[in-house]
């Protein structure tokens, strides 16, 4: 089977290459915004939207026009990829998978992509990559890049440039190993496994919160868009980057360990967006305990539950395992001994004591055990459903239904 995988490295460009990359990212941003403006005007005028081929013809006009001759300095393929990104954004919008496309802003998610592997050269022996109109760029070679190069994306984050190299390679069909485990997510305990293991939270944002607040206060005192303001802004961005990098590193290590040791992982289908919604309310109906809810929201978002589940999904798929998402309803109120469901079973946040049979354990461990049982029940239902409807079952297994 074929596996697509991306490897991201920090670039070490010289001054000329950095200026060129900023120009290329700006050109891609300009093309995206121009095409989006054209599409909006056509939509407001009642005309159909232009397809990718028609947008490419417009791009040729812009490159040859007297108003934007600088577009010729940028490579053609990354500009075309910006149009493909817009086409994909429109498709997701009409399919109700995303909001309406928005104009790109300078300094936010600056990137450009080279889709043609024939134009890319990767020299792993010397830690460098060749890209059109940029030449050879050195990167921080921290691991081997296996497989054939498919495309390369160059991006900027917190003042540093990165290269993401996507490759494709043939791997043997995965054979799952290990048993099944249920995972209860929390704040005091980041994750509690049904086998008794517990992962302590990293609290990446909380560790840097004071430093970030001081940097933001210093930035607010600078004249906006001045030289000192840009320096202060760069300092804030570096702190945010450090917070995100530490969180991702922690999540990758945790998910890799879990996926290496288990063939089935059952998790709660948490709606993080709803759980972290603001409690402020409005003037007619003001909220209650707004400060406490704000602190809870901050703690929830600091954990990275969605990213944790996303990493579990693709890493288990690579190893032949499955991720099962179950409803979180009553998972912490159900007794694993007698099955009695009551809010009184959990007198405190950490203690579970069944009022019917007296069964007592840590509340997070009880939740993990119930999540595992719910995962087994859902798998059994999927198998029986597929047996009753062979055609429907085949279609569901092909869509990897359990991963949703």
Residue 103, both tokens: 């104009």
Annotation says 364 is catalytic = yes
Annotation says 330 is catalytic = no
Estimate the crossing angle of helix 76-94 against helix 52-64, to 10 degrees: 140
Q: What is the DSSP letter of 142?
A: -
Looking at 85, 87, 184, 302, which residue is catalytic? 184
Strands 160-170 vs 148-157: parallel, antiparallel or unpaired? antiparallel
CB atoms within 10 A of CB 395: 12
Cα 258 to Cα 280: distance, rounded to the nearest angstrom: 38
Looking at 85, 87, 110, 268, which residue is catalytic? 268
Annotation says 282 is catalytic = no
Looking at 87, 110, 302, 364, which residue is catalytic? 364
Strand partners, 360: 353
Residue 247, both tokens: 């969180």
With 0-12 CB in 10 A as exposed, 13-18 as middle and 19+ as buried, what is 165?
Answer: buried
- Of 344, 378, 396, which is closest to residue 268 (Cα–Cα)? 378
Cα 321 to Cα 314: distance, rounded to the nearest angstrom: 9
Calculate the CA 224 to chain-centre distance: 31
Question: Can you give the length of the chain in residues?
Answer: 404
Q: E strand or H helix at 234, and its extent? A: helix 227-261
Cα 77 to Cα 61: distance, rounded to the nearest angstrom: 15
Q: Which residue has the tokens 């359990």?
A: 402
- What residues contact residue 202 under an 8 Å CB cut-off, 6+ apart? 190, 246, 247, 250
- What residues contact residue 130 under an 8 Å CB cut-off, 6+ apart? 120, 121, 122, 123, 136, 137
Question: Which residue numbers are catalytic?
Answer: 184, 268, 364
């Amino acid at each position: 089977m074929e596996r697509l995988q991306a490897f991201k490295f920090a670039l070490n460009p010289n001054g000329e290459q950095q200026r060129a990359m900023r120009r290329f990212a700006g050109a891609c941003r300009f093309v995206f915004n121009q095409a989006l403006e054209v599409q909006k005007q056509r939509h407001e005028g009642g005309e159909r939207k232009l397809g990718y081929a028609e947008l490419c013809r417009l791009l040729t006009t812009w490159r040859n026009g007297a108003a934007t001759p600088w577009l010729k300095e940028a490579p053609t393929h990354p500009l075309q990829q910006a149009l493909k990104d817009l086409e994909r954004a429109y498709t997701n919008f009409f399919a109700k998978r995303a909001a309406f496309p928005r104009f790109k802003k300078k300094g936010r998610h600056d990137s450009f992509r080279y889709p043609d592997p024939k134009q890319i050269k990767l020299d792993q022996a010397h830690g460098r990559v060749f890209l059109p109109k940029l030449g050879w760029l050195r990167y921080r070679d921290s691991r081997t890049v296996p497989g054939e190069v498919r495309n390369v994306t160059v991006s900027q984050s917190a003042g540093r440039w990165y290269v993401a190299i996507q490759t494709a390679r043939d791997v043997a069909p995965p054979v799952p190993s290990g048993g099944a485990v249920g995972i209860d997510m929390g704040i005091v305990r980041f994750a509690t496994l049904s086998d008794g293991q517990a992962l302590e939270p990293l609290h990446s944002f909380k560790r840097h919160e004071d430093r970030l607040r001081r940097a933001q206060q210093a930035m607010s005192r600078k004249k906006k868009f001045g030289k000192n303001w840009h320096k202060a802004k760069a300092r804030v961005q570096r702190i945010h980057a450090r917070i995100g990098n530490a969180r991702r590193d922690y999540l990758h290590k945790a998910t890799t360990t879990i996926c290496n040791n288990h063939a089935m992982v059952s998790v709660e289908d948490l709606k993080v967006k709803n759980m972290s919604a603001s409690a402020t309310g409005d003037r007619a109906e003001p909220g209650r305990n707004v400060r406490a809810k704000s602190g809870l929201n901050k703690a929830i978002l600091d954990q990275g539950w969605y990213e944790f589940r996303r990493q579990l999904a693709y890493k288990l798929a690579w190893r032949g395992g499955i991720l099962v998402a179950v409803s979180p309803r009553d998972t912490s109120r159900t007794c694993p001994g007698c099955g009695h469901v009551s809010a009184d079973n959990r007198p405190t946040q950490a203690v579970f004591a069944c009022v019917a049979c007296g069964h007592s354990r840590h509340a997070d461990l009880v939740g993990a055990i119930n999540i595992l049982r719910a995962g087994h029940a859902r798998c059994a239902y999927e198998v029986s459903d597929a047996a009753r409807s062979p055609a429907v079952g085949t279609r569901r297994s092909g869509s990897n239904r359990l991963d949703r």
